[in-house]
Amino acid sequence: MKASELARYIDHSILHTDCTSKEIENFCKEAISLGTYAVALNSYWVEEAAKHLKGSNVLVDAAIGYPLGQVNKNGKIAEAKYAVASGCDELDVVMNVGALKSGYYDFVKEEIMEIVKVAEGRVVKVIIESGLLNDDEKIKATNLIIESGADFVKTSSGMNNISGATVHDVELLKRTAAGKIKVKASGGMTNLKIVLSMIEAGADRIGTKFTQNIMAELTEN
């Protein structure tokens, strides 16, 4: 795979708590240089990132309800509206995993549906924290995402020491998605070998903050 092809799989992710304005600027410049698909960041930084990425092919990807997903539904919807108004191109929404595991399926689906509506046609990816779910729950979560009208199921937020993507999970989510939605692998995407294994398993997008090192590995090979 060429470096330019691999880069277009990647949402270059900068989501740490003490992230600064200068880091956002440098990260956006790095994303443009590498040719990544998007820069994924917290909603507070969307407007600033949009200015830095203007005129490039790199999209602004806003995290919503990050990282726990248990913000009040109206809070998540408000954050999504803010991100859209600030100039985001895509949204990565953390599912309320506690609600899912409690069997509140209608609530989970309705929450995602409301955010899809607010997104106004923008791509919506839903983070299910696959490391906290058994296979039946992963399948149920994916089907709820399909029913909600969102575009992707995403494995993990990569935060709170929750295990990230595995080949098994990506393959399971890809089978369950059945071409109706796409799969984003995130969490633990630290090197080229892991990233290529996820793409081989069926991942349509990769979320990682280690993009520069991964691309350097590819170039070395």
Active site residues: 92, 154, 184
Read off the tokens for 160. Answer: 């709170």
The sign one gets for the Cα dihedral 96, 14, 124, 71 is positive
Following DSSP, what letter does each residue of the chain receive, concatenated? --HHHHHTTEEEEE--TT--HHHHHHHHHHHHHHT-SEEEEEGGGHHHHHHHHTTSSPEEEEEESTTT--S-HHHHHHHHHHHHHHT-SEEEEE--HHHHHTT-HHHHHHHHHHHHHHHTT-EEEEE--GGGS-HHHHHHHHHHHHHHT-SEEE---S-TT-----HHHHHHHHHHHTTSSEEEEESS--SHHHHHHHHHHT-SEEEES-HHHHHHHHHH-
Q: What angle do CA 62, 67, 69 make, to 5 degrees?
A: 95
